[in-house]
Amino acid sequence: MDWLTNFPAMDLERLTAIKRAIDESFRSFTRAYGDVFEALFEPLKSFMIAAEKFMTGAPWPVTLGLILLLAWLASRNWRIVVGAAAALLLIGYLGMWDDTMKTIAMIIVATITSIIIGIPIGIIASRFRRVRLVLSPVLDVMQTMPSFVYLIPVVMLLGIGKVPGLIAVVIYAVPPVIRLTDLGIRLVDAETLEAADAFGSSPWQRLVNVQLPLALPTIMAGVNQTIMMALSMVVVASMIGVQGLGQPVLRAINSQYFTLGMFNGFAIVGIAIIFDRVSQAFGRRLQKHREVAHG
Amino acid sequence: MAEPADNIHGASIRLAGVYKIFGPRHLDFIEQVHRGMTKEELLEHNHVLGLSNINLDIPAGIIQVIMGLSGSGKSTLIRHINRLIEPSSGVVAVNGIDIMQMSPVELRDFRRNMTAMVFQKFALLPHWTVLDNASYGLKLRGVAKAERQDVAMRWIERVGLKGFENKFPNQLSGGMQQRVGLARALANDAPVLLMDEAFSALDPLIRVDMQTVLLDIQKEIRKTIVFITHDLDEALRLGDRIAILRDGKVVQKGTAQDIVLKPADDYVANFVKEVNRSRVLLVENIMQPLEAAAAPAGLPRLPARLLLDEAVRRLTGIGASEGLAVDEDGRPLGRVTLSDIVQAMVTPVDCPPEVAGMAAPATERAAAGA
């Protein structure tokens, strides 16, 4: 009755052999193609380095001014700008300026990459039902798989550093843009689409004139979520050498520095709120034309 | 048509033997439907008979109204003319060209150049201004910006929206939004104008207003307009020809006077009985033809194609009790008395007695009017 109390698992030796075989083949794959992949991600790396260099290299009043200007242009809301200024000044005063700038650079690059990848995939998914059916479980895996797990192959392939960290962040953060682009396009009013067809739109004209603009509020909600998810990945990504606010948090966990952890944690919360409010205000501003003036 | 053909900018439309079955296996059932399978039998196979043997010849330059209640298939029918919906079988031809034979690219060109459509819920682009919306069709066609805005601006002014060109649709009332929809369709300068319950979502007063705008514009542009409505008064006011649709079948087609004077069946008669006849019937419909060539002298002259209510106004205005109906060239055709007119206004003419007897009792009519 041994099989009742102990689960009849696969023979241990065979299981180890299988795992080892998979590992070996992946390892030889990385040995063979690691350089190719590294070359492939070279543009991403230069983008990342340039963003980080700019954010940390420029005198702090310049960067601060630039962030606040962007916040103003996007939101046109003084309260948001003043709040952002206060939060950033406090963060800087508490000695976390450089780390914060590195994190902001990372989030900006990750968000832009996610948008560039996510929106086209979302458009394709909205058009082809089959793509959507296949994509949906893949996105589920990307969002629920513990992020440490897919750090492993990324590190094996590209080593430790900014780019693998960025890839890990993008994998985790891209699903909302894809999902909400797809959803937003499918929710576009049927009669408006019919009008586009009736006047003889080509598929491209339909997409650019009608589907994307009308889906934009939903897409912006996806971008907002993506930013938030990217921020939450910062700490995990610091385990593979991404610099920024995640590193001190990691150090604080390892050495039980309570205050260090709290400070950096709140700095992450601070920039999360700034990003959230600014991107939401931007989304609302994009829909100004929807305001009903007439009853 | 009495008018010279070069005034007409419309295109002729022909639907012949058009059937539409909704459902995934619609083509499998088409044979059986041709052989007479009914709507109910088809429904047992979970397929819906949308249109059944539609034959409609619409000459160029007229307003063809298609009237029916919801579910009669009228919106399905109008979408066959620009192939937004494809028939299960049958021919749809515009200016003699079978649009079912067109490739996707040809179809797109056809829609850009030959048709324009006005929608019940306006279907404007909310993120574009009135001017951009009105020039939408021209933009799709690739007309240069300055030129298309010029054309659009002319039509915006024509429909009475001057000064609103930089507003967004949501800043306008429903009636104004539909004026934008109309301007967008007219700016396309397409020979065929498809109007799908275009005025149904508007308040009654604004609806009548828009009908007037449309009739005025049609006098200039002489397009072929296919107008869908569920409102008989609207149908009678706008339609040069009217087709009444029920359960996907045309139950009657003809002029407004044909419909009112000779309803094809009880269904149509029932519709017609509440109609204000004096605004539909013409003097020529009730005049007594002259027996001799000599016209009686001294009678006030009335155009034969004058509406009865206007005829009453003219006769009572001068205190006459009888008039002489004349054609466009002033030739006398017949005579008409005030009492003839009044009689025609209150009792159905040429109506089978059982239909005439169907007129609702006064109490019921009052309840329906409330």
pLDDT at position A207, please?
A: 95
Q: In 10 A of CB B369, how many CB atoms? A: 7
pLDDT at position B92, please?
A: 94
Q: Do residue B53 and residue B10 come from a single domain? A: yes
Residues of A (194-253) whose Cβ lies below 8 Å from B: 194-195, 197-202, 205, 209-210, 213-214
Q: Identify all chain A residues contacting B84, using CB atoms and an 8 Å cutoff.
A: 194, 197-198
Across residues B69-97, what is the average pLDDT? 92
**Does residue A242 sit within a domain?**
yes
Domain carrying residue A21: 10-40
Q: Do residue A145 and residue A222 come from a single domain? A: yes
CA distance B285 to chain A (A): 40
Q: In 10 A of CB B71, how many CB atoms? A: 14
pLDDT digits (tens, 9 = 90+) for B259-281: 988 888 888 888 888 888 888 88
**DSSP H or E stretch at residue B324:** strand B322-326
Give the end of a domain, one of B254, B272, B290.
B272
Q: Do residue B90 and residue B234 come from a single domain? A: yes
* CATH number of domain containing B112: 3.40.50.300
Give the end of a domain, one of B210, B240, B272.
B272
Q: Choose the closest CB to B119 out of A191, A201, A293.
A: A191
Interchain contact, B123 vs A189, CB within 8 Å: yes
Q: Do residue B336 and residue B193 come from a single domain? A: no
Kindly report the three-state secondary structure assignment for every residue of B2-51: CCCHHHCCCCCEEEEEEEEEECCCHHHHHHHHHCCCCHHHHHHCCCEEEE
Q: Choose the closest CB to B123 out of A191, A202, A205.
A: A191
**Does residue A250 sit within a domain?**
yes
* CATH number of domain containing A123: 1.10.3720.10
Per the structure, the count of domains in chain A is 2
- Rounded to 5 degrees, φ, ψ at B357 are -70, -10
Q: Do residue B156 and residue B288 come from a single domain? A: no
Residue of A nearest to B105 (CA): A202
Per the structure, the count of domains in chain B is 2
Q: Does the predicted interface ipTM exceed a cut of 0.90? A: no
**Does residue A3 sit within a domain?**
no
Q: Do residue A21 and residue A144 come from a single domain? A: no
Q: Do residue A35 and residue A46 come from a single domain? A: no
Is the Cβ of A192 closer than 8 Å to some Cβ of chain B? yes
Q: Does residue A250 surpass a pLDDT of 70?
A: yes
* CATH number of domain containing B301: 3.90.1280.20
Across residues B38-63, what is the average pLDDT? 90
DSSP per residue, B201-229: TS-HHHHHHHHHHHHHHHHHH--EEEEEE
Q: Do residue B189 and residue B55 come from a single domain? A: yes
CA dist B40 and A201 (Å) reads 38
Q: Identify all chain A residues contacting B140, using CB atoms and an 8 Å cutoff.
A: 199-202, 205
Q: Do residue A32 and residue A123 come from a single domain? A: no
* Pick from B218, B169, B291: nearest CA to B64: B218
Quick one: B13 exposed, middle or buried, by C-beta within 10 A (0-12, 13-18, 19+)?
buried
Q: Choose the closest CB to A199 out of B126, B137, B170.
A: B137
pLDDT digits (tens, 9 = 90+) for A126-138: 999 999 999 999 9
**Does residue B246 sit within a domain?**
yes
User: What's the DSSP call for residue A227?
Assistant: H
**Does residue A1 sit within a domain?**
no
pLDDT at position A286, please?
A: 81
**Does residue A295 sit within a domain?**
no
CA dist B55 and B21 (Å) reads 16
**Does residue A5 sit within a domain?**
no
**Does residue B215 sit within a domain?**
yes
Q: Identify all chain A residues contacting B184, using CB atoms and an 8 Å cutoff.
A: 199
CB-CB contact of A140 with A176 (8 Å): no
What is the CB-side half-sphere exposure of residue B360 using CA atoms within 13 A?
A: 14
* Torsion, CA A155, CA A156, CA A157, CA A159, rounded to 10: 50
Q: Do residue B140 and residue B268 come from a single domain? A: yes
pLDDT band at residue B3 under the 50/70/90 scheme: very low
Residue of B nearest to A287 (CA): B127
Domain carrying residue B317: 282-346
Residue of B nearest to A189 (CA): B123
Q: Do residue B171 and residue B57 come from a single domain? A: yes
Is the Cβ of A28 closer than 8 Å to some Cβ of chain B? no
pLDDT at position B31, please?
A: 87
Across residues B229-239, what is the average pLDDT? 91
Size of interface A-B (CB pairs under 8 A): 73
